[in-house]
Structure 1
């Protein structure tokens, strides 16, 4: 596999009869909200105009939804763009990555000519961070990037744990970047988020995607929260029209649709637990407890490699994420699946039980 290959690439191969059933992309199974679809259709004729370079309407909606000042917001063409923007602007020399993790952290760091070091997470410890070891690594790093929850492991880091890390770097020169792109899937995120702490800890940058929870990956939309001076630097360093008009309109509509938000969370939690119990009971597969809309599987007990496992599913029209190219779990035995609608999950279960 290519080192920075992602899931969700439905264009690479011939489409099977009936289309792909894509478990490789971890997107809200509820799909596009009707309110967002309506907003997009209503705005189609407006694409003859440039988007608002200040994205005032969207920033106001984000400020209200996430209870952060608009002056602290930086908008991105997807969350991934914001990692590149931050690293190209701040230019830390040494970046530490708990791995396995989202590969764009490493790719963005390499693009900014950073030296990347890896902090290995172990399956035996359910891929949780050893905080004593993490704190001991601070003197030899300039920036730590971590996902909360982490992709692909689903591991959550508590707010208290992050505050401990922030206190440790408060008087130093290190930066902490926290990717909260999947926190919207939780019923309550107050135990985990640190987006409200950027004023208190100016060397903190929090990134969040809107494409995951609101099922907008084709539009690309994300935002960052930073101390006001850093937000100004980041906004000055990006393309002025990096968030297009349709993405801005979709974001405003999505953030206003509280019914979609509540139903998505409740339905996901119920289906996530059902799927976890069914898969973890299959011979040869170890499922790691999911926290949001994806689940990591160790398939070594099946006698198949991750590539062999994904190939057998692909032959049945089902795509899953082969994790062999994730730094930190290159032993070719892990795959990640998304949590989809019950009838789609039942189709996956039927094939897995048959195998």
Structure 2
């Protein structure tokens, strides 16, 4: 079970929507400060963090003695608990998991106040009834994480007042406050002098997009601040964190730009999620919580996009997800994949409905059509006449003649360039449905034939497809056929990286120092990996034949290839297979041979 977002180290990720950092990315002055800090890495950092304390105190208009800095906000949560030593903690849920984790470290009792879905997981004044003298400390996120809603200032004041009366410490987590653009109205900073029992915690991590640097701070009454400071190790702030903090706190115009970006892009993502049938909760922060019946975590992860599965938050269950608001380009990429997933789900529902109707219909006529095998065979012979003897050399020609006739009878017209490929696939499969589902990019057949004539290699994802390709014709033009699936090196790397051999095979094929036609008839992960290599600008195949067969990720993988600008032949839907991939290759090879033979005669 995951406890936090951002696990890019155990997944192959191209876009991380699971962590909620500033969509503008790290400010350039902060990057420069980190580079400069390299020169100071041979020295111990300033144990008092004097420059950082002065810069933050000036910006926030507080006394330096009220500030305590930590290695991220998480370290400060632990320090507060070790300083207060509460016997009972109250945590409204769903909320940040770090509070409960910190509570486990001091082995105290934790009670949970459950916010209601029917109230959009908003905190209400009912929490005041739960607060009493037995509760030593309250954790409260404003805005809430993972929901993103803000708590009304009047209610925060009432909670703080009730906590003061009960001698309870109130810890306000405002790590995302500045990114809401509503800090002046909703932050508790201005009232801290009135409430010595309140601690406000913030983080540079989210605001300045530097989670790898680890820097947070808290503000509270001076005596309490000193008590908390004593719980931290000396030199808990590296020279990198201190340098970055001093540079970052000056970037106020950068924050203003980020707020505008978040507000605009959050609305875009909200509309896209709703259009995909998701239930989205109101948010003021740089993230959105939503619910979907689709297994979106897995579906996005298969496409190299990491989102936050919120099923391990108390008060939520499977189906709840959170995504960050990112840059416009990244959000549009996310939306494009979301639309594909939604369209595939709708298509699957239609297919299931058709299947149900078909099963019902078959059930009704089952008794009427129950004929024994002998009787069925006799009827077929009676209907079609005696079995016809055809010489092996004539079978293919007769088959293509039948296909041509039946296509005409069905009113199906195939573009002349595509006809040899489509007919050979029908010949291989005896399935006229391919006439509707085979999809060709612009001038696909001409491009593929040109590649063959110029010595392109063919790489398959199965040895079955490899064996079905006419390699003699291919070799005539200087090409070779490959399949890396059975290579020991491929199997070993796939096991180490915990991916399919098809993924590694595509990467190995990308190293061939010549144009490659990829013929994928079995593994959708092969197409997905090719799509990633194309999207990341790492490798561009010369041509892709995408016809994997199956039910899991097959349709989506094919659509991904169709969304690239790489020349391709793809069979939409679930049908396909290694035999179809080989048939397409052979159709192209035979057309090249036929055309060249005609030229010689001429």
User: TM-score, with normalisation over the residues of structure 1?
Assistant: 0.93
- Cα offset, 1:24, TM superposition: 0.6
Provide the C-alpha distance between the structure 1 equivalents of 2:153 and 2:284, rounded to a whole number of angstroms: 15
1:232-243 equivalences in 2 (<5 Å): 232-243=226-237
Contact 2:149 2:285 in 1 (8 A): no
Provide the C-alpha distance between the structure 2 equivalents of 1:192 and 1:180, rounded to a whole number of angstroms: 10
Provide the C-alpha distance between the structure 2 equivalents of 1:186 and 1:252, rounded to a whole number of angstroms: 22
- Cα offset, 1:246, TM superposition: 0.7
Q: Which residue of 2 aligns with 1:98?
A: 92
Q: Which residue of 2 aligns with 1:86?
A: 80
Q: Which stretches of structure 1, 4 residues or longer, exceed 3 Å deviation after superposition?
A: none
Provide the C-alpha distance between the structure 1 equivalents of 2:255 and 2:58, rounded to a whole number of angstroms: 15
Provide the C-alpha distance between the structure 2 equivalents of 1:255 and 1:219, rounded to a whole number of angstroms: 14
- CA shift in 2, pair 1:169/1:259, >3 Å: closer
Q: Is 1:9 matched up with 2:16? A: no
Q: Which residue of 1 aligns with 2:299?
A: 312
Contact 2:124 2:155 in 1 (8 A): no
Provide the C-alpha distance between the structure 1 equivalents of 2:143 and 2:67, rounded to a whole number of angstroms: 21
1:136-155 equivalences in 2 (<5 Å): 136-139=129-132, 140-155=134-149
Provide the C-alpha distance between the structure 2 equivalents of 1:350 and 1:86, rounded to a whole number of angstroms: 44
Deviations 1:197-242 (A, max 9, x none): 3332111111001100100100100000110000111112211211
Please list every run of 5 or more consecutive structure 2 residues that lacks an aligned counterpart in the other structure: 342-602
Contact 1:158 1:191 in 2 (8 A): no
SS of residue in 2 equivalent to 1:191: helix
Q: Which residue of 2 aligns with 1:207?
A: 201
Greater share of residues in helix: 2
Deviations 1:56-91 (A, max 9, x none): 111111112222211100101001111100001111
**Superposition RMSD on alpha carbons, in Å?**
1.2
| Between 110-119 and 269-278, the greater mean CA deviation after superposition | 269-278
- Cα offset, 1:259, TM superposition: 2.7
Q: Is 1:287 matched up with 2:280? A: yes
Q: Which residue of 2 aligns with 1:321?
A: 308
Q: Which residue of 2 aligns with 1:337?
A: 323
Please list every run of 5 or more consecutive structure 1 residues that lacks an aligned counterpart in the other structure: none
**Aligned residue-pair number:** 340
Deviations 1:109-164 (A, max 9, x none): 11111101110011210111121x21111124221101000100011012221111
Deviations 1:308-348 (A, max 9, x none): 3201110011100000111111x211000001111111111
Task: Return the match for 1:252 from 246, 265, 272.
Answer: 246
SS of residue in 2 equivalent to 1:212: helix
- Cα offset, 1:282, TM superposition: 2.1
SS of residue in 2 equivalent to 1:24: coil
Decide which structure has the larger Cα Rg and report it.
2
User: TM-score, with normalisation over the residues of structure 2?
Assistant: 0.55
